[in-house]
Amino acid sequence: MPCLRGISGPRPPLALFIVSLLAGCGSGPGGPTGSPPPTTTATPPPGPVAGRYLLQIVPAPGCSMSRSPLTFPMVAAAAGTSPHPGLQVLLDGNPSALEWELLSESLTVRGGLGTTGDGVLSNEATRMWVHAIGTGPVTRASDGRGEVTSGTLMGYVALGGPDDAEGALGTCTARDHAFSLRIR
């Protein structure tokens, strides 16, 4: 059997065989070229939600009212640390008309948003009444501060003209009103 010749002869030790395989691969730490792997830079976490913001609220898709975004100038600041870190967001210029008290944990905010019985006039000249619980992830804004680019409000929203009574342009209680709280 000529094809089996040399099979029964002496063999080199197994360790020598493995070392020769590894040495012959020719791959460096970054691949066959031996260049180092590319470095990745981690995105730093968002800073605090603090300063001037623009709150945008959009009524839920199932509401039989205008779904045009309504915006409000807001000011945010830290509010309390024990037992959980908090955040207070108030209407800029008329803090008692629209207030939001939020818990801020694990890059998520959640809490109650509400207006007084007079409602609040939006930048778009529509009056809004709202009593809702909002939640959303905090992301890093261009200036490093935290902001919420896409959140959900669950609760009551009513709309009216500038001098209308509550709900003159519709009311809606839903689980999927949308909001954003972006830096300005």
Instruction: Give me the pLDDT at residue 17, please.
Output: 46
pTM recorded for the entire structure: 0.76
Show the domains of the chain with their CATH numbers.
51-183 (2.40.128)
- What is the rounded distance in angstroms from the CA atom of residue 100 to the CA atom of residue 46? 20
Instruction: Give me the pLDDT at residue 75, please.
Output: 98
Least confident of 28-42, 45-59, 110-124: 28-42
- What is the rounded distance in angstroms from the CA atom of residue 132 to the CA atom of residue 36? 52
Instruction: Give me the pLDDT at residue 13, please.
Output: 57
Furthest C-alpha separation in the chain: 106
Q: Which of 9-23, 43-57, 93-107, 125-139 has the highest mean pLDDT?
A: 125-139
CA nearest to 154, candidates 171, 130, 137: 130
Tell me which residue has tokens 């001037």: 52
Instruction: Give me the pLDDT at residue 108, please.
Output: 95
Question: In 3-state terms, what secondary structure has residue 87?
Answer: strand
Give the residue with greater pLDDT, 128 vs 15: 128
- Mean pLDDT, to the nearest integer, of 87-111? 95
Q: Using a pLDDT cut of 70, give the percent of the chain over it.
A: 78
- What is the rounded distance in angstroms from the CA atom of residue 39 to the CA atom of residue 119? 52
Instruction: Give me the pLDDT at residue 11, please.
Output: 55
